[in-house]
Amino acid sequence: MSSASKLQQDLDCEIAGLEQDLIVLKRRRNALSPVSQLPSELLSKIFYLGLHFIQADEKTRTEILPEYTRLSISHVDHHWRTVALESPELWSEIHVRDTTKVEYLALARNNSKMQPLYVEGYNITLTGAAGVRHILQTEPHRINGVTLHARIEVMRSLLPDLKGSCETIEFLELNGGVVQAPVDLTQHDTFFNLPKLRHLRILYWDTLLIPSTFHPPSLVKLEITFSHHPPANHIIRATFSALRTVASTLEVLLLGFDSPFSTQNVLESIGRSPIDMPSLIFLTLLSCSPGILSKLVSHFRPPSSFREVHLVARGPSASVLEYQTIASAVQRSYASTFTPDFFLVKDPSQGGRSNPDAINIGVAQQHGRKSDQINVLSTAFFPGVAAAPTFYSTDSLKTPIIPLPSSSGWLFGTLITAVLEADLPLAFWRAFSRIPTLSTIRYLVKRPDDGFLQALQGIVASVGPVEGDEKHFPSLNIVCPFFREKDITWDVEYARSLAILLGEGWAKSHVSSSSLAILEFKGCSSENLDEETACILGSVVRGVLVWNDQEWNCREPSEGDAIDIAPEDTT
């Protein structure tokens, strides 16, 4: 070896040593950063949460590749890589896409140690199904949960492999909700029993038959939604048979018929005898066909300890006639166990939905003032573009009619609080004024002559819902109007009119309690009240007046005193 080659080799060795020293120095420097001083357990938890909240930059879930995020985390620096590789829970959730490589699947399996595995195949084709199949076949005894979002034929190809893990699966979601060719509904795919199953979600797999052997003793959550085309009758019958089998353990049930069905076929499949569900906490029923929701409401019997019941009607089933039928069924089923004291009317279009006729009505019952248990029953109606014409009240305002309140009706007889987030017609407010227990009203103001003001004007003019009835809002104690539109010019004028009409209405109704404990206005465009308006408002408030979070103190005047009202000293 020449002296030059020997010198070059020595220099290479020295460079390698210096590079290694540089790596050590960089690691020591990185270790001084605040994030590197976090405990490894906390850093691992941050990584884990990062994988669950990676949907950003308006990307759809299909465009997100969790395995790339996981690998990126492990390539930041030595400390992060060590923590990532030594955190098996970080690798135990395996997300499969059509682009996922088998090498990555092997890496995830090895790094997950012996942790139970959750496998997700989202929007996959037969290419992605091969990756899911690889995990199911290589680790059949470690599979704890599976989510498949694919065409029915893709999920069908994986059924035999899923059956190989039937003794360990606790969570299973089978979602056929992707765009696909028409399905042959004369065929069926046979499901199987999963003895340890706790959560099951079957969405839009209309040919999946649940056999009579299906009886997981620990099933607590079941969601089944039919769509695309009405399934065959034997599929529906098998579904209700399975519901009867697991009814005693279910805590959460969602059952949806998300396309027009033959109502008679569904009703025949349900059977005659009701289904008792002693453990049920949350119930959601959805239908696009008239007659089905009311039948389901009468058929399922949750205990008095239920927390939430949600009924959703879409398309043709959202007609006024159907609503009345559902209301009657609700009263028959819940009158003995549920006495609502809270009432909510909400316009779902405020949440981004474009259907102007949609409406959501909810009632709730709280067991004692300090109780955490609240029972909620809500009904949402989405008429849809192709729905039959919606019937409206005689008002010019086009709001779908909801059942008018009645002091003798079960649903309204004991109401205490009402939150009205929709612009309701005059007929509603007139009937609402006769509820004897109602003490709090929070309502949306969208126009200067809304239904509440018109109802008060009628009270002052002695135009009531029943001739000779002189008592209106007899228990009213708190009134809270709120505005959502910006730059309105009539909010102060509205407030003055409201106060004047409330005072005159009480005088007309001969109600002993003639002033409010709280009068609160929110979302007002005007920042402050002028002195005259404040005095007018104070004349109907014996407690607190609030205007846009600015609190005014109102003392109850003695006879002959001038009204004393001034803004609270915020200093």
Mean of pLDDT values over 461-468: 53
Q: What percent of the chain has pLDDT over 70?
A: 76
Mean of pLDDT values over 204-214: 90
Q: What is the pLDDT of residue 159?
A: 94
pLDDT tier, 487 (very low <50, low <70, confident <90, very high otherwise): confident
Q: Where would I find the beta strands (DSSP E) of 30-186?
A: 93-96, 117-124, 143-150, 171-175
Say which residue, 69 or 439, is predicted with more confidence. 439
- Report which of 558, 549, 544 is spatially closest to residue 566, judged by C-alpha positions: 544
Tell me the residue range of the domain where 457 lies: 392-571
Q: Answer whether residue 360 shows pLDDT above 70.
A: yes
Mean of pLDDT values over 118-130: 92
Rounded CA separation 396/431 (Å): 18
Mean of pLDDT values over 153-165: 93
Mean of pLDDT values over 25-32: 67
Q: What is the pLDDT of residue 401?
A: 47
Residue 357 lies in a domain: no
Q: Answer whether residue 402 shows pLDDT above 70.
A: no
Mean of pLDDT values over 417-427: 86
Backbone angles phi, psi at 251, to 5 degrees: -105, -25
Q: Answer whether residue 52 shows pLDDT above 90.
A: no
> Strand, helix or coil at 219?
coil
Say which residue, 397 or 447, is predicted with more confidence. 447
Mean of pLDDT values over 168-175: 96
Domain boundary among 90, 109, 127: 90
Residue 238 lies in a domain: no
Say which residue, 566 or 511, is predicted with more confidence. 511
Q: What is the pLDDT of residue 490?
A: 94
Output the pTM of the full model.
0.78
Q: What is the pLDDT of residue 65?
A: 67
Residue 290 lies in a domain: no
Rounded CA separation 303/258 (Å): 26
Q: Answer whether residue 327 shows pLDDT above 90.
A: no
Q: What is the pLDDT of residue 28?
A: 67
Rounded CA separation 363/479 (Å): 19
pLDDT tier, 564 (very low <50, low <70, confident <90, very high otherwise): very low
Structure token pair of residue 348: 């779902």
Ranges 187-201, 275-289, 403-417: which has the least confidence:
403-417
Q: What percent of the chain has pLDDT over 90?
A: 28
Residue 106 lies in a domain: no
Integer CA distances (angstroms), 495 to 291, 462, 546, in order: 44, 22, 11
Instruction: Mark residue 252 as left, alpha or beta (left: phi above 0; alpha: psi -120 to 50; beta: remaining).
Output: beta
Strands 93-96 and 117-124: parallel
Residue 251 lies in a domain: no
Residue 60 lies in a domain: yes
Mean of pLDDT values over 412-439: 86
Q: List pLDDT tens digits, range 424-434.
A: 888 888 888 88
Q: What angle do CA 539, 542, 544 make, to 5 degrees?
A: 100
**Identity of the highest mean pLDDT range in 134-138, 290-294, 316-320:** 134-138
Q: What is the pLDDT of residue 571?
A: 33
Q: What is the mean pLDDT of the chain?
A: 79
pLDDT tier, 130 (very low <50, low <70, confident <90, very high otherwise): very high
Q: What is the pLDDT of residue 559?
A: 42
Q: What is the pLDDT of residue 133?
A: 95
Q: What is the pLDDT of residue 503?
A: 84
Strands 189-190 and 208-209: parallel
> Strand, helix or coil at 444?
strand
Residue 212 lies in a domain: no
Residue 564 lies in a domain: yes
pLDDT tier, 99 (very low <50, low <70, confident <90, very high otherwise): confident
Q: Answer whether residue 391 shows pLDDT above 50.
A: no
Contact 329, 298 (CB under 8 A): yes
Q: What is the pLDDT of residue 404?
A: 63
Q: List pLDDT tens digits, range 300-322.
A: 999 988 999 998 888 766 666 77
Q: Answer whether residue 256 shows pLDDT above 80.
A: yes
Q: Answer whether residue 493 shows pLDDT above 90.
A: yes
Domain boundary among 68, 90, 112: 90
Say which residue, 227 or 484, is predicted with more confidence. 484
Rounded CA separation 117/136 (Å): 10
Q: Answer whether residue 392 shows pLDDT above 60.
A: no
Q: What is the pLDDT of residue 80?
A: 75
Integer CA distances (angstroms), 431 to 318, 381, 412, in order: 23, 22, 10
Q: What is the pLDDT of residue 62?
A: 56
Length of the chain: 571
Contact partners, residue 354, CB within 8 Å, separation at least 6? none
Mean of pLDDT values over 466-474: 63
pLDDT tier, 16 (very low <50, low <70, confident <90, very high otherwise): confident
Q: What is the pLDDT of residue 58?
A: 54
Q: What is the pLDDT of residue 553?
A: 63
Q: What is the pLDDT of residue 558?
A: 44
Q: What is the pLDDT of residue 393?
A: 41
Mean of pLDDT values over 455-473: 68
Rounded CA separation 530/496 (Å): 11
Amino acid, res. 421: E
Q: What is the pLDDT of residue 570?
A: 35
pLDDT tier, 498 (very low <50, low <70, confident <90, very high otherwise): very high
Q: How many Cα atoms within 13 Å fall on the side-chain side of residue 255?
A: 20
- Report which of 488, 492, 330, 352 is spatially closest to residue 411, judged by C-alpha positions: 330
Say which residue, 379 or 36, is predicted with more confidence. 379
CB atoms within 10 A of CB 160: 12
Rounded CA separation 449/493 (Å): 11
Measure CA 82 to chain center. Answer: 39
Q: What is the pLDDT of residue 36?
A: 65
Rounded CA separation 400/318 (Å): 10
Say which residue, 488 or 431, is predicted with more confidence. 488
Helix axis angle, 66-73 relative to 40-52, nearest 10°? 160
Mean of pLDDT values over 11-36: 72
**Identity of the highest mean pLDDT range in 89-98, 116-125, 230-239:** 116-125
Number of domains in the chain: 2
Say which residue, 469 or 454, is predicted with more confidence. 454
Domain boundary among 53, 74, 90: 90
pLDDT tier, 522 (very low <50, low <70, confident <90, very high otherwise): very high
Q: Answer whether residue 12 shows pLDDT above 90.
A: no
Mean of pLDDT values over 231-240: 86
